[in-house]
């Protein structure tokens, strides 16, 4: 093992910036010092870590392999420092989480607003993406936990349930006649459908449900935003599949109507997911327990 760990710090910032001058600025040392440290590390390891060029440097294959591990190590150190700072009281630190845009707006936002009001010195870092994307961010240690749609079956994760939601087909005035009585799913599928993109868990859920009833859903429009699903339905462009709780205001105001089916759509649950054996920060534990109301978190 290399005895001088400062060499890895120089390597890390050089690999981040791919420029010796910018790395030197980050490290508050001179460019020759950066070059010397990189050369020393390469000598110790017996490999070239960078290709030198007139416009900067590029990682070699060995350099990329080393950076993958060094990056993880630096993230682990940052996490440990953050946890130490937060250990006893929520005076500083950050809350790193991820969710889809819809869950963030319609579920998380009120809780985050209250949390920020009561803990103003804590930094909030929210990543956006589909449930599969949020799971990937958790595993890459880019976020501490995620709010995801269940079911999630991943042996690397702890998943704890929060609330139950109900998904429904809804439509604007152009298709209000479809809401007069319950329809077979196959009949509804003959009308223009507006669904989430294929990578979303909601899209996978409704397609699996439809297939279980022998129906293939072929949407006319695919969207990545629940707000657009709502607006497109209101504009009469088709029938959207959304979480009922997220369109309650539109339903109450008569701007949308729920399309009932002969085949009842099962409810789904929202959950909190994080890596097994992960040391969660104090801020994360407080938010999950006190603001999301999740019990059983140690």
Q: Which CATH number goes with the domain that contains 160?
A: 3.40.190.10
CA-wise closest residue to 165 among 182, 151, 149: 149
pTM: 0.65
Instruction: Tell me what pLDDT residue 91 has.
Output: 55
Note whether 236 and 174 are same-domain residues: yes
C-alpha pair distances (Å), 61 with each of 17, 38, 260 = 17, 16, 57
231 domain-assigned: yes
Q: Which domain holds residue 212?
A: 167-266
44 domain-assigned: yes
- Contact by Cβ (8 Å): 210, 163: no
Low-confidence ranges of the chain (pLDDT < 70): 1-3, 82-93
1 domain-assigned: no
Residues with Cβ < 8 Å from 183, sequence gap 6 or more?
259, 260, 261, 262
Residues with Cβ < 8 Å from 45, sequence gap 6 or more?
2, 62, 66
Note whether 49 and 91 are same-domain residues: no
The helix-helix angle for 20-27 and 31-45 (nearest 10°) equals 100
Note whether 150 and 36 are same-domain residues: no
Number of C-beta neighbours around residue 94 at 10 A: 16
- Phi then psi for residue 202, to 5 deg, are -65, -40
Note whether 160 and 278 are same-domain residues: yes
Q: How many domains does the chain have?
A: 3
Note whether 143 and 97 are same-domain residues: yes
């Amino acid at each position: 093992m290399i005895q001088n760990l400062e060499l890895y710090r120089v390597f890390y910032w050089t690999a981040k910036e791919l420029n010796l001058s910018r790395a030197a600025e980050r490290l508050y040392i001179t460019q020759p010092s950066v070059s010397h440290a990189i050369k020393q590390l390469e000598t110790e390891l017996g490999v070239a870590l960078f290709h030198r060029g007139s416009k900067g440097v590029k990682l070699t294959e060995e350099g990329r392999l080393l950076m993958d591990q060094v990056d993880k190590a630096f993230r682990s150190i940052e996490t440990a420092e953050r946890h130490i700072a937060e250990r006893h009281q929520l005076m500083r630190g950050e809350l790193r989480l991820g969710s889809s845009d819809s869950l963030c707006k319609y579920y998380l936002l009120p809780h985050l607003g209250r949390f920020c009001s009561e803990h103003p010195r804590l930094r909030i870092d929210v990543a956006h993406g589909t449930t599969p994307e949020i799971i990937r961010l958790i595993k890459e240690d880019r976020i501490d936990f995620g709010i995801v749609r269940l079911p999630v079956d991943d042996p690397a994760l702890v998943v704890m349930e929060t609330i139950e939601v109900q998904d429904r087909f809804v439509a604007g005035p152009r298709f209000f006649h479809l809401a007069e009585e319950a329809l077979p799913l196959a009949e509804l599928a003959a009308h223009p459908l507006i669904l989430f993109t294929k990578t979303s868990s909601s899209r996978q859920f409704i397609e699996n449900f439809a297939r279980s009833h022998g129906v293939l859903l072929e949407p006319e429009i695919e969207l990545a935003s629940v707000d657009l699903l709502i607006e497109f339905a209101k504009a009469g462009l088709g029938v959207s599949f959304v979480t009922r709780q997220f369109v309650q205001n539109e339903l109450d105001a008569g701007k949308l109507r729920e399309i009932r089916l002969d085949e009842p759509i099962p409810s789904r649950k929202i959950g909190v997911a994080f890596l097994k054996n992960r040391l969660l920060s104090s801020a994360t534990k407080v938010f999950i327990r006190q603001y999301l109301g999740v019990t059983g978190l140690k």
